[in-house]
Amino acid sequence: MVIEKMAMAGTLESSDAQVTVEPADSLTLHIESSVLNQYGRQIKATVEEVLARLDVTSGRVTVVDKGALDCTLRARVECAVFRSCDASMVNVPWGGVIQ
């Protein structure tokens, strides 16, 4: 997928994560987390895995994590990317690239 415009998903509440995606020439990932020391590596791996599955190869992705579980992180990254393509509201490929 191509990030066509800036989009955001999630909140800054505890146990949530706020993900922002913006168009860019290359793919960059910036992660802030309240649990960085113990989960930074896993957060990064999860976000990269989701982006790869969605075939996102360029864009600026910012994750502000407040202790979200993996399933929440995935949901927020996917939603932000789908929103950036105006594809989040109908015919989402559940069980396809969303898994």
Partner 1 sequence: MINAVGRDIPDYLLVDGKEVYQGRFAKDGQVLKRDAPTCVMNEKPVADKLCESIREACERCGAHDGMTISFHHAFRNGDYTASMVCRVLVEEMGIKDLRVAATSLGDAHNLLADYIEQGIIVQVQASGVRGRIGDAISHGKLKEPAIIRSHGGRPRAMMAGELHIDIAFLAAASSDKVGNASGNGGKNNCGSMGYAMPDSRYADKVVVITDTLAPFPNVPASVKCEDVDCVVVVDEIGDPKRIGTKEARVTQDPRDLMMAERAADVIAATPWFVDGFSYQTGAGGPSLAVTRFLEERMDAKEIKMGVAFGGITGNMCDLQDRGYVRKIVDTQDFDTKAIAHLHDCPDHVEMTVSDYANPASKGAYVNYLDYMILAALEVDVNFNVNVITGSDGVVRGAPGGHPDTAAGSKCCIIVTPLVRGRMPTVCKEVTTVTTPGECIDVVVTDYGTAVNPARQDIIDCLDAAGIPHVSIEYLQEKAYSIVGEPDPLKWEDKVVAIVEARDGTILDVIRQIKPYTFE
Partner 2 sequence: MAGKITRPRPNKDRLRRTMMFMNAQRPGLIKDAYIYGCDSIMLDLEDAVAVNQKDAARFSLYHALTTVDYGDTEVIVRINGTDTEYWREDVRVCVAGGADGIRIPKCESAAQVKEVEAAVEEAEREFGVEVGWTLLMAALESPLGIMNAYEICTASDRMLGCAISGGDFRTSMRVQIEPDGIEINTARSMMLLAARAAGVQCLDTMYPNLDDEEGFRREVDLIVRMGFDGKSLINPKQIAYVHERLAPTQKQIAHSEKIVRSCREQADAGVGVYVVDGKMVDPPFFREAERIIELAKKCGVYHGDL
In the complex, the residues that contact partner 1 under the rule CB under 8 A are: 14-15, 31, 34-42, 44, 66-70
Our CB check for partner 2 shows the closer of 15 and 58 to be 15
Which partner from the list partner 1, partner 2, none does 62 bind, CB cut-off 5 to 8 Å by kind?
none
Phi, psi of 16, rounded to the nearest 5 degrees: -120, 175
43 interacts with partner 2 by CB under 8 A: no
3-state helix, strand, coil in the chain (%, to 5): 35, 25, 40
Which partner from the list partner 1, partner 2, none does 12 bind, CB cut-off 5 to 8 Å by kind?
none
C-alpha span between 85 and 99 (Å, rounded): 18
